[in-house]
Amino acid sequence: MIVPAEKWVPIIEVHVSNVKGFLEKKKQEGFSILGLEQTANSVALDKYVFPKTTVLVVGREKEGIPVELIPILDAYIEITQLGVVRSLNVHVSGAMVLW
């Protein structure tokens, strides 16, 4: 039996040119806009308490979240790591946060 996620989880595809407008609309609807990004103000993933209505923004690999989206974000979280490597593949990071 195949059980695709889109039957159980509402998934919306937003074209990259429409991301800023989409996030601004969601903020007006009461959503918290959360960025998965390493900043001076980031909170460790295991310490962050997620609001019930959250939009998660993940950036491009190597480049991160585009600078024009940073002012829209309400908070930043990061996945703390040990060693020299400071990043994970974006799909891995997204999966860790969703879990």
Residue ranges of the chain with per-residue pLDDT less than 70: 1-3
68-61-86 Cα angle (round to 5): 105
Q: Which CATH fold would you assign to the domain 5-98?
A: Alpha/beta knot (3.40.1280)
Q: How many CA atoms lie within 13 A of 40 on its CB side?
A: 0
Domain range annotation of the chain: 5-98
What are the strands, taking DSSP E only, across 14-83?
32-36, 43-44, 54-58, 75-78
What's the longest Cα–Cα distance across the chain? 46
Q: 61 is written with which tokens?
A: 């690999």
